[in-house]
Amino acid sequence: MPIPTVHFLLVYSHQKQVLIHQDEFTDSTRATAAYTAAEKKHANENDYEIVLIGSDSIQTVMRTHGHYFGAPHESAFAEFLLSA
């Protein structure tokens, strides 16, 4: 049985160098709508990077896109990275 894809919406501030928003969706339609809304909300703000990533888990996203989560010792999810 295939592992279902989970969609993670991340909003990252380059100026603050911190992830300012993270959301998780199992429904791709809702994920896409949230991504579109985030893009519109920050349309005139060049500081923000908004991404929608499909993956099996947040642990995988943290491994493949770790720069959004900061240094492992600073991340609220460091325990996941260390146990992976």
Number of structural domains in the chain: 1
Residue 45 gets which letter from DSSP? -
Burial (Cβ within 10 Å: 0-12, 13-18, ≥19) of residue 23 = middle
Domain assignment present for 1? no
pLDDT at 72: 45
The answer to whether residue 78 scores a pLDDT higher than 90 is no
The tens digit of pLDDT for each residue in 2-49 reads: 778 999 999 999 898 899 999 999 999 999 999 999 999 999 999 999
The parent domain of residue 50 ranges over 6-83
